[in-house]
Amino acid sequence: MQFKLNNNSSFFTPLILVTPFFLWGTAMVAMKGVIHQTTPLFMAGVRIFPAGFLVLLVAIVLGKSQPKTWQGWAWISLFALVDGCMFQGFIGEGLQRTTAGLGSVMIDSQPLAVAIMSRWLFKEIIGFWGWLGLAIGIIGISFIGLPDEWIINGWQGNFSAIDLNWQNLFNNGEWLMLLASLSMAVGTIMIPYVSRHVDAVIATGWHLILGGLVLFVLSFFSETSQWVNLDLSAWLSLSYATIFGSAIAYGLFFFLASKGNLTSLSALTFLTPIFALTFGNLILGETLSTLQMLGVCLTLVSIYLINQREQITEFLTPKYDKFKLGIKKQLGINN
């Protein structure tokens, strides 16, 4: 995989290319580290509300125009509800019940959902490698989200020993993170529609602000003691998640995407959960079961296959054609 920048590429290094994914992964660890001192909806609002103003400030400096039609504001509002409020809200709630590493893996499985929705809405071709990635991803997510006892008993054929407590299953953090992933996937699909009515950078800033406002309102009516237990270290962690994990990470990602190959850059998505898993273990002492680790590996493979399915096909097709031609020659077939 090669990432080519349009100009001044000598100033860019692989370190800069992986920076957004490093910031996203470590931001998950930072939020997990303070979740016991605050409340999930308040934390989610703190992460995106100030970041929205930073993005808008950059957009104003760049001369981007504000929304001028009611359709533009309508799409921004819907985008804020799905990709702002729901996405970040599910992350906050999920972090109470799962680790930063597993949560990041579940969130970054959203290319699977995007591929399916793009196939349905835009008739995009998934292809063999895409479908294979989807199948592997479903298995990987199941290994992460389902109780180990279910998988072990099912593998052994001891189905009577499986306690199908669906309420507890869908209240655990991994499945809440999956809902966050689905929200992000819907938000991703919405971007082309939003961009028809308003500049994408402006929409990003406003959707963070509006989504943060909704999260603050929900927190006000449903949560208590949101900030009374936060110490200086916790505020610094939240500031890191806001400034570096939101504003700078998204800004740098979109800048790099505008200068190079978006597909190649998107293929680096799998680095985000790797950073989250690594620093979650080093800083928070998070550990995974054997089945969960297997699920993480399968999910990362699936993300790569989905993101790179076209490149894999382009690389292997000539080799496959050459192989077929060799077989035909061996069999004496002329056509």
Q: Is the pLDDT of residue 202 over 50?
A: yes
Report which of residues 116 and 9 the model is more confident about.
116
* 2 in a structural domain: no
Q: 334 falls in which pLDDT band (50, 70, 90)?
A: low
* 183 in a structural domain: yes
Domain of residue 216: give its range: 9-331
* 248 in a structural domain: yes
Summarised one tens digit per residue, pLDDT across range 224-275 is: 999 999 999 999 999 999 999 988 887 777 667 656 555 556 667 778 888 8
Q: Is 141 left (phi over 0), alpha (psi -120 to 50) or beta?
A: alpha
pTM: 0.79
* 135 in a structural domain: yes
Mean pLDDT score, 169-177: 76
Q: Is the pLDDT of residue 85 over 90?
A: yes
Half-sphere exposure of 21 (CA within 13 A, CB side): 22
Question: Residue 150: which of 295, 297, 285 has the closest Cα?
Answer: 295
Whole-number Å distance between alpha carbons of 14 and 33: 28
Q: Is the pLDDT of residue 25 over 80?
A: yes
Contact, 34 vs 237, CB < 8 A? Answer: yes
- Percentage of the chain beyond pLDDT 70 is 84
* 99 in a structural domain: yes
Contact, 98 vs 133, CB < 8 A? Answer: no
Q: Which of 5-9, 77-81, 205-209, 290-294 shows the lowest mean pLDDT across its residues?
A: 5-9
* 4 in a structural domain: no
* 1 in a structural domain: no
Q: Give the chain's domain count.
A: 1
* 3 in a structural domain: no
